[in-house]
């Protein structure tokens, strides 16, 4: 097991990466409610519960089984109406400020569960039990929670850190291959922006990682989380450095919104978005042609990235609502070589459109 500490101005907690956590959830979380004798609630999706619910509840004593709340799977359910429904369910079930919410699922359950915990009675504690590769390497850590609007991703939300994160590698055994590959895009991102060693490891070990070798997965998860914890520790609220975690997300989020959250998985959209950012980086010579080719090869090794329909104009227009933008200035994260990155705010409309056109040509 590997333990990574997250320490920010407002929170301090540990991320545990290992196996068998799902068999002992009760023992892991009981200390968090022992003093208050708070009740425990679980937010999950019906699919995950069908696969892992028995083991999960099996760890709780008969008289103290957690109450289960469900969120249907899919990005289109990451919306405010679902948060209101779930809050009403918490209230009807008697949840109070001593209650603990366990978010047991992928990034969508984690983002919605975290947001629900942030606003229910103005804030209750929650624990992240991420079940997808993406949520283990990225979304369960750092406290960003929220939901989408039809106009854009994560446009409503808040920062609310979990009390702890338990990433159980065993649970990934039932994860579909497409989800695994999509999640790995966030680790490729982590390597490109700030960890050349992680990038090289992913470059050399694609076959092992895709075959779900436990040791390789543990390394990739723990290393990605360590990088993210460091960044969030320096800049919790994305006033500067944290923006680099958004590499590929300016165009990636635009693709998700323009295709109405129904075509690509988040990680796949980020993969396409990284290819667009790479075109701008190439044009500005923040990466050499050789580095750009290496990056593109690694993105493709964890692909294939499914195609989608959208015009360059519609995508460019959707980037106008990106949360990084200020006063009409479009901000973009670009790789600087491999293992470093920068944020620029002078990408012109023409430069953006050309990069998107080149990306679309790779579909
Ligand atoms: N808060 C953050 O910092 C942050 C970071 C990255 C991504 N995100 C968000 O995360 C979301 C994507 O998360 P995701 O990729 O985990 O997708 P997801 O939550 O939709 O889960 C993927 C699918 O796999 C199923 N599933 C989950 N675990 C499983 C398992 N162990 N076995 C079998 N099936 C399983 C789910 O039911 C779902 O259908 C996006 O909304 C994205 O915006 C947030
Ligand atoms: O934690 C962060 O910061 C990130 O940017 C991680 C991203 O992978 C993630 O998709 C995040 O939800 C994007 O946040 P947003 O505020 O740009 O919507
Ligand atoms: Zn992301």
Q: Is 35 a catalytic residue?
A: no
Indicate if the pLDDT at residue 273 is higher than 90: yes
pTM for this entry: 0.98
Q: Tell me the pLDDT band of 326, cut-offs 50, 70 and 90.
A: confident
348: helix, coil or strand?
coil
35: helix, coil or strand?
coil
45 lines ligand 1 (CB under 6 A): yes
Q: Is 160 assigned a ligand-binding role in the annotation?
A: no
Q: Is 144 assigned a ligand-binding role in the annotation?
A: yes
Which ranges of 64-213 does DSSP label H, i.e. alpha helix? 80-92, 107-119, 133-134, 177-194, 196-204, 206-210
Tens of pLDDT, residues 78-97: 999 999 999 999 999 999 99
Q: Is 218 a catalytic residue?
A: no
Distance from the alpha carbon of residue 245 to the mean position of ligand 2, in angstroms? 6
* Tokens at 243, concatenated: 């923006």
Distance from the alpha carbon of residue 37 to the mean position of ligand 1, in angstroms? 31
154 lines ligand 2 (CB under 6 A): yes
Distance from the alpha carbon of residue 267 to the mean position of ligand 3, in angstroms? 6
168 lines ligand 1 (CB under 6 A): no
Tens of pLDDT, residues 102-155: 999 999 999 999 999 999 999 999 999 999 999 999 999 999 999 999 999 999
In terms of CATH architecture, what is 2-174? 3-Layer(aba) Sandwich (3.40)
Bridge partner list, 332: 344
| ipTM of the prediction greater than 0.90, yes or no | yes
Q: Tell me the pLDDT band of 337, cut-offs 50, 70 and 90.
A: very high
Give the pLDDT score at 330.
87
Q: Tell me the pLDDT band of 327, cut-offs 50, 70 and 90.
A: confident
Radius of gyration over every alpha carbon of the chain, rounded to an integer in angstroms = 20
* Tokens at 327, concatenated: 């006063």
266 lines ligand 1 (CB under 6 A): yes
Under a CB-based contact definition with an 8 Å cutoff, are residues 223 and 244 in contact?
no
Give the pLDDT score at 328.
80
Tens of pLDDT, residues 188-216: 999 999 999 999 999 999 999 999 999 99
256 lines ligand 1 (CB under 6 A): no
* Tokens at 174, concatenated: 């039932």
Q: Is 249 a catalytic residue?
A: yes
Q: Is 122 a catalytic residue?
A: yes
Tens of pLDDT, residues 153-194: 999 999 999 999 999 999 999 999 999 999 999 999 999 999
Q: Is 266 a catalytic residue?
A: yes
Instruction: Report d(CA 114, CA 158) in Å as an integer.
Output: 9
Q: Is 242 a catalytic residue?
A: yes
Burial of residue 280 (CB within 10 Å: 0-12, 13-18, 19+) is buried
331 lines ligand 2 (CB under 6 A): no
Domain ranges of the chain: 2-174, 177-360
Q: What is the mean pLDDT of the chain?
A: 97
252 lines ligand 1 (CB under 6 A): no
First to last CA, the chain: 39
Instruction: Report d(CA 334, CA 337) in Å as an integer.
Output: 9
Under a CB-based contact definition with an 8 Å cutoff, are residues 90 and 99 in contact?
yes
Q: Tell me the pLDDT band of 305, cut-offs 50, 70 and 90.
A: very high
Distance from the alpha carbon of residue 33 to the mean position of ligand 2, in angstroms? 29
Atom 12 (ligand 1): residue with closest C-alpha? 107
Q: Is 324 a catalytic residue?
A: no
131 lines ligand 1 (CB under 6 A): yes
Give the pLDDT score at 271.
98
The closest-lying atom of ligand 1 relative to the alpha carbon of residue 78 is 41
Q: Tell me the pLDDT band of 217, cut-offs 50, 70 and 90.
A: very high
Ligand found nearest the CA of 56: 1
Provide mean pLDDT across the span 303-320: 96
In terms of CATH architecture, what is 177-360? Up-down Bundle (1.20)
* Tokens at 142, concatenated: 């750092």
Q: Is 266 assigned a ligand-binding role in the annotation?
A: yes
Under a CB-based contact definition with an 8 Å cutoff, are residues 227 and 189 in contact?
no
Residue 39, C-beta contacts closer than 8 angstroms, at least 6 positions apart: 33, 66, 67, 94, 95, 96, 98, 99, 100
Burial of residue 31 (CB within 10 Å: 0-12, 13-18, 19+) is exposed
Tens of pLDDT, residues 22-45: 999 999 999 999 999 999 999 999
Q: Tell me the pLDDT band of 237, cut-offs 50, 70 and 90.
A: very high
Q: Which of 106, 186, 245 to mutate to test the pocket of ligand 2 (most atoms within 8 A of CB)?
A: 245
């Amino acid at each position: 097991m590997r333990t990574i500490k997250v320490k920010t101005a407002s929170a301090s907690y540990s991320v545990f990466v290992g196996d068998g956590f799902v068999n002992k959830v009760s023992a892991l979380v009981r200390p968090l409610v022992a003093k208050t004798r708070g009740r425990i609630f679980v937010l999950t999706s019906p699919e995950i519960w069908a696969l892992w619910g028995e083991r999960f509840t099996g760890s709780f004593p008969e008289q103290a089984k957690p109450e289960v709340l469900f969120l249907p799977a899919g990005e289109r359910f990451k919306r405010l109406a679902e948060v209101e429904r779930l809050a009403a369910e918490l209230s009807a079930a008697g949840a109070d400020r001593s209650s603990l919410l366990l978010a047991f699922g992928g990034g969508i359950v984690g983002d919605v569960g975290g947001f629900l915990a942030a606003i229910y009675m103005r804030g209750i504690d929650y624990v992240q039990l991420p079940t997808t590769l993406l949520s283990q390497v990225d979304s369960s850590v750092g406290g960003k929670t929220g939901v989408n609007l039809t106009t854009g991703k994560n446009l409503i939300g808040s920062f609310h850190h979990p009390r702890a994160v338990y990433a159980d590698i065993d649970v990934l055994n039932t994860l579909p291959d497409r989800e695994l590959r999509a999640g790995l895009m966030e680790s490729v991102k982590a390597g490109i922006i700030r960890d050349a060693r992680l990038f090289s490891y992913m470059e050399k070990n694609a076959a092992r990682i895709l075959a779900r070798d436990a040791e390789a997965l543990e390394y990739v998860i723990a290393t990605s989380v360590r990088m993210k914890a460091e960044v969030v520790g320096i800049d919790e609220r994305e006033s500067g450095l944290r923006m680099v975690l958004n590499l590929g997300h300016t165009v990636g989020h635009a693709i998700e919104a323009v295709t109405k959250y129904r075509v690509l998985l988040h990680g796949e959209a980020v993969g396409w978005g990284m290819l667009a950012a790479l075109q701008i980086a190439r044009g500005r010579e923040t990466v050499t042609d050789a580095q750009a080719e290496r990056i593109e090869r690694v993105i493709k090794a964890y692909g294939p990235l499914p195609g989608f329909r959208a015009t360059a104009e519609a995508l460019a227009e959707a980037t106008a609502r990106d949360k990084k933008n200020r006063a009409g200035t479009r901000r973009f994260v670009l790789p600087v070589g491999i293992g470093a990155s920068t944020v620029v705010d002078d990408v012109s409309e023409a430069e953006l459109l050309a990069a998107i056109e080149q990306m679309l040509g790779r579909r």
